[in-house]
Amino acid sequence: MLTLHQAGFTTTPSIAPLDGTLRPGELLAIVGPNGAGKSTLLSMLSGFRPCEQGELHLDGKPLDEWPITTLANRRALVAQQELPGFDWQTFELVSLGSNPCSALVVELLHDLDLTHLAKRSVLSLSGGERQRVMIARGVCQLLSRRSSTAKDGGLLLLDEPTSALDIGQQQRLMRQLRAWAERHCMAIVCVLHDLNLASTYADQVWLLHQGRRIAQGNPAQVLTPRRIEEIYQVNINHIAREDLSPPQFLLAP
């Protein structure tokens, strides 16, 4: 779907050249300490900030050659904080710019536990509720614009989608993202700070540090105790699971 060919930025904040492929049906977690370049990389993957070296190809075509309206059919970006400019109802905001059938909006509101907020003003919602509304809007954009000949559900880019959520909503959201990736053959990229969420739900992890990707692979390959302690400058307790599930981490005194 989206392929990076030595793509990067030379100006500050810089991103060292990257190769890689984002595949339909997979969830990629981008992790790293503050200032590592995670949000900058996401802006490059979305096309909002064109790469300054190398190339990005979406469906085999250079990303910078896609018309904006056509690109919106294949790629959606949900930023860290998106404040609605008007007093929309939740249902209206999720539908905005997509012209979807009502059934799709109802389904997405149900998926993200927002049904009871459908007629509420988005200006009255909490930060976590509004965050989930914006994610629903991004998914609605992709699914409502999906052509009958499309082989996959497009590319969903999320910048810290769990930052305003309690631990229960974090878990439910990550489970839902996995379900969407599988059900709609959607490629999903999440910038995450919670390494346990990345370890549990991601198919692939990219670990960034000072604008460079220093490790990539499945969570067990990337999120090793020694690497985490070195990059984050913390002491951790590594919890290995007997059922071969991804490892979990706790801060050590």
Instruction: Look up the domain containing 223 and give its range.
Output: 2-251
What global pTM score does this model have?
0.94
Give tens-digit pLDDT for 18-76.
999 999 999 999 999 999 999 999 999 999 999 999 999 999 999 999 999 899 999 99
CATH code of the domain in which 32 resides: 3.40.50.300
Residue 236 falls in which region: left (phi positive, over 0), alpha (psi -120 to 50) or beta: beta
Give tens-digit pLDDT for 167-205.
999 999 999 999 999 999 999 999 999 999 999 999 999
CA separation for the pair 33, 232 (Å, rounded): 6
Number of independent structural domains in the chain: 1
204, two tokens: 């692939």
Which residues, 6+ apart, have CB-to-CB distance to 204 below 8 Å? Answer: 26, 27, 28, 29, 216, 217, 218
Give tens-digit pLDDT for 108-130.
999 999 999 999 999 999 999 99
